[in-house]
Structure 1
Amino acid sequence: MGSEESSNCSEEPYGNFSTIFGSTDVPEWEAILTIIILSLFILLTIIGNILVILSVFTYKPLRIVQNFFIISLAVADLTVAILVLPFNVAYAVSGRWIFGIYICKMWLTSDILCCTASILNLCAIALDRFWAITDPINYAQKRTVKRVLMMIAFVWILSLIISVPPLIGWNDWPSPEIFAEEQVCVLTRRQGYVIYSSSGSFFIPLLIMTIVYIEIFIATKRRLRERAQAAKINISKNQTNKNDDHRDRESVSSETNHNEHPDEQTKSNDKLLKNKSKDTEKSTLKPTLVHEDSLTDFGENSSFGRKNSHLTAENKVPNSSSTTITISNTKPSPKVVLVDNNKKPGFVYQFIEEKQRISLSKERRAARTLGIIMGVFVVCWVPFFLMYVIIPFCPVCCPSRRFVNFITWLGYINSILNPIIYTIFNMDFRRAFRKLLGLGGQN
């Protein structure tokens, strides 16, 4: 969010090096390397966020209402790359602002607006996922296009409210004459505005995201324990029922061995075991399949997100079996329909155990994703906002230009990483990217 220097520090000289770019603040080799690396960052940011936007609009599985938040985030990051970063590259290399005071004011305002919108969109995504996980059915009905668009509009209006005050007087910018002489374009160091803008742009959203993701993480861990326990119960029931079947067969055989014909004995045994198998399947399937929900999808492509307020899932056992299991959650009380023509219950147990294993694996990956989301956000933005807040209150703190540029670009890198973090873990986004890039394939 712009360069930050202390007005009480003696200004570092600029233009010490004569290069192909004119007088610069760094040696020619460093200027060339800086331009190449930062230009690559800008290009990756533009390409990544355009791919995200096009994916949602062109790939049908992604055209769901909660992905509007992803579009808004991508737009914010795209505006950072177009309106903010190119000017910063020129400023970092030359060491002075060569575009005039009015473009300086536009640049600083756009910087605060776009970076704040990016951070607040991350906060909105966190809240959306929290509500979707803690109250999936009710929130699925509330998550309408109108509600989501209102939340996005609130994000951008709040960002505008935070970024505009310096334009209407809450600043310490120099007069045009002094600016023309000094050629320094920095954020205002008015202590009141620094506290106001840093709180709204970062510290309050960080607090909200931390609380929300802790709650999501706790919910995920709790669900993992529940599903692991359900898997253990199913395995235990499976083993118990197999033992019961074996004992029943022996018992029936011993009871009928000396008063029934062998053929009649076999028919009687099969009938009894068939009835037990049906009871076993019903008792085993019910507690397991009811747990299937949208927790592991975390919003982008959750089952409740598709078709807004309906929860529908259908799972079929592979073609090698004649068993079909259909789960319908479109009504308040989910139904489980089991049709078994000729397969033994052991196959159904295997299917259930495999579903549990996949579900547990997905939830573990989702928990790890939460750590990545928060970790990247904190690493990128905490250094900048600490510098932004400390310098106006610390007259003896005089960071070098290189240090300031590094910390500032660390924050900008979050706009590069956002399209990766919020899409690469989603199979539909990966497929959409491959389709847009003409790479083909399904993974």
Structure 2
Amino acid sequence: VWFLHQEVCDMWISVDVLCCTASILHLVAIAMDRYWAVTSIDYIRRRSARRILLMIVVVWIVALFISIPPLFGWRDPNNNADLTGKCIISQDKGYTIFSTVGAFYLPMLVMMIIYTRIYQVARSRIRKDKFQQIKAKLRTEETSLGTTPKSEYTMITDCNGCSTPDLNPEKKKRRAPFKSYGCSPRPERKKNRNTKVPGDTNGLNSPTIQKLRQLQVDPDLYTNGCSDDASFVLPETECTNGNRVCTIENAPYSKSREKLELKRERKAARTLAIITGAFLICWLPFFIIAVIGPFVNPESIPDFARSFVLWLGYFNSLLNPIIYTIFSPEFRSAFQKILFGKYRRGHR
């Protein structure tokens, strides 16, 4: 029962809507910040306190824009706290649609899109890291002209300015899985031979002569999910001013790495599912009742149900610090600074 005047009720409802909307929009801002951090290499460097402050100000301005219209008369005149003894949010149909879409449904859609995209990028990056692990572990060593070891497969990485030749896999073939570059030849091998590579000149306009040496790959080596034949041509470059030679070492890719990457993918999916799941569970019931309330008989929705879903939405504000500190080291560090100051951090 509301014992105060309608004006006080309007102010109370506006502040309530303001804080709830700001809470939801801050979750959107956090999602956007995470998305930019994942997709932009230099975002962390460019992210400043001023930029974050601007995002916070924008959040509160949008929340204020959604919450104050009832103070200026955009409300149902039949719901007067002085007459009914109840202080409830404006039941005007137009304002209900405006406020629920702006405060929840649109932010929810944006969050779902952003977190889906974050998961896709994270999954792609995890798999990319997998292939980086599969790639060759290059050991670079300085050698003088004519001293390239003949017992190892080599690849030129630098020649005083001349362009770096790449490993060229035979087209339409698949790279075999390795922790590091190259394969140890075995007695029975399949061969693919390339005979010509155009010459190049280095930065000193001196000729660069490239010799081709064939890397022979035994198909039997591919026991971890790859059975295609493969052949790589490794250019061996001679320069008058010395060169950098990378040796290529052989090591089969371990299936334990695949399990680790799968575990990382599942952890990323679980984290995003918990964040979005808690948000939807806490706020969706309230906004379902809020959007249908003006279109049905008020008596059809019990006061207990209204109060329960409202407090369930409030509960999300309690859960958010717990969820984000558990799954985000940055948030955990920030909360430690806020609660315990720099002293605790320096004496851990």
Into which bin does the TM-score normalised by the smaller protein fall?
0.5 to 0.7
Aligned counterparts of 1:184 and 1:197: Cα–Cα separation in 2: 20
Find the counterpart in structure 2 of residue 203 from structure 1.
105
Question: What CA deviation, in whole Å up to 9, does each residue of 1:113-137 have, x standing for no partner?
Answer: 0000111111111112112212222
Aligned length: 250
Aligned counterparts of 1:152 and 1:429: Cα–Cα separation in 2: 16
Could you say what secondary structure the match of 1:136 adopts? coil
Aligned counterparts of 2:132 and 2:297: Cα–Cα separation in 1: 61
1:103 aligns with 2:8: yes
1:111 is displaced (CA, Å) by 0.7
Question: What CA deviation, in whole Å up to 9, does each residue of 1:48-104 have, x standing for no partner?
Answer: xxxxxxxxxxxxxxxxxxxxxxxxxxxxxxxxxxxxxxxxxxxxxxxx113443332
CA spacing shift, 1:396–1:147, aligned 2, 3 Å: closer
1:122 aligns with 2:122: no
Could you say what secondary structure the match of 1:108 adopts? helix
Find the counterpart in structure 2 of residue 160 from structure 1.
64
Query: Which AA in structure 1 matches 2:56?
Result: I
- The percent identity for this pair of structures is 41
1:389 is displaced (CA, Å) by 0.7
* Contact 1:172–1:190 under 8 Å retained in 2: yes
166-175 vs 373-382, greater mean Cα deviation: 166-175
Structural mapping, 1:374-393, within 5 Å: 374-393=276-295
* Contact 1:434–1:441 under 8 Å retained in 2: no
* Contact 1:113–1:162 under 8 Å retained in 2: yes
CA spacing shift, 1:432–1:405, aligned 2, 3 Å: same
Aligned counterparts of 2:130 and 2:312: Cα–Cα separation in 1: 40
Could you say what secondary structure the match of 2:91 adopts? coil
Find the counterpart in structure 2 of residue 334 from structure 1.
none
1:231 is displaced (CA, Å) by 3.4
* Contact 1:191–1:393 under 8 Å retained in 2: yes
Aligned counterparts of 2:22 and 2:345: Cα–Cα separation in 1: 34
Structural mapping, 1:363-442, within 5 Å: 364-395=266-297, 398-427=300-329, 429-430=331-332, 436=339
* Contact 1:170–1:193 under 8 Å retained in 2: yes
Aligned counterparts of 1:150 and 1:428: Cα–Cα separation in 2: 19
* Contact 1:108–1:187 under 8 Å retained in 2: yes
CA RMSD of aligned residues (A): 4.1
1:231 aligns with 2:133: yes
1:369 is displaced (CA, Å) by 0.9
Aligned counterparts of 1:367 and 1:441: Cα–Cα separation in 2: 34
Aligned counterparts of 2:71 and 2:180: Cα–Cα separation in 1: 73
* Contact 1:391–1:397 under 8 Å retained in 2: no
1:222 is displaced (CA, Å) by 1.6
1:155 is displaced (CA, Å) by 0.9
* 1:133 aligned residue (38, 43, 47): 38
* Contact 2:135–2:180 under 8 Å retained in 1: no
Unpaired runs of 5+ in structure 1? 1-95, 248-344
1:196 is displaced (CA, Å) by 0.8
* 2:53 aligned residue (142, 149, 152): 149
Query: Which AA in structure 1 matches 2:62?
Result: L
* Contact 2:133–2:179 under 8 Å retained in 1: no
Structural mapping, 1:260-299, within 5 Å: none
Aligned counterparts of 1:103 and 1:390: Cα–Cα separation in 2: 25
* 2:88 aligned residue (186, 210, 214): 186
Aligned counterparts of 2:122 and 2:68: Cα–Cα separation in 1: 40
* 2:17 aligned residue (112, 118, 138): 112
Find the counterpart in structure 1 of residue 234 from structure 2.
none
Question: What CA deviation, in whole Å up to 9, does each residue of 1:167-206 have, x standing for no partner?
Answer: 011112569xx63453110111100100111111111111
Could you say what secondary structure the match of 2:301 adopts? coil
156-165 vs 223-232, greater mean Cα deviation: 223-232
CA spacing shift, 1:196–1:429, aligned 2, 3 Å: closer
* Higher-helix-fraction structure: 1
Question: What CA deviation, in whole Å up to 9, does each residue of 1:324-363 have, x standing for no partner?
Answer: xxxxxxxxxxxxxxxxxxxxx89xx89x999998777555
* Contact 2:14–2:68 under 8 Å retained in 1: yes
CA spacing shift, 1:148–1:354, aligned 2, 3 Å: farther
Could you say what secondary structure the match of 2:76 adopts? coil
CA spacing shift, 1:130–1:442, aligned 2, 3 Å: farther
* Contact 1:220–1:367 under 8 Å retained in 2: no
Query: Which AA in structure 2 matches 1:154?
Result: V
TM-score between the two structures when normalised by the length of structure 1: 0.48
Query: Which AA in structure 2 matches 1:128?
Result: D
1:409 is displaced (CA, Å) by 1.2
1:227 is displaced (CA, Å) by 2.4
1:158 is displaced (CA, Å) by 0.8
Aligned counterparts of 1:201 and 1:381: Cα–Cα separation in 2: 11
* 2:119 aligned residue (211, 217, 221): 217
Aligned counterparts of 2:49 and 2:181: Cα–Cα separation in 1: 50
1:241 is displaced (CA, Å) by 6.0
Aligned counterparts of 1:240 and 1:218: Cα–Cα separation in 2: 28
Query: Which AA in structure 2 matches 1:394?
Result: V
1:143 is displaced (CA, Å) by 2.7
* Contact 1:108–1:186 under 8 Å retained in 2: yes
* Contact 1:231–1:356 under 8 Å retained in 2: no
Query: Which AA in structure 2 matches 1:105?
Result: D
Structural mapping, 1:225-264, within 5 Å: 225-233=127-135, 236-238=177-179, 243=184
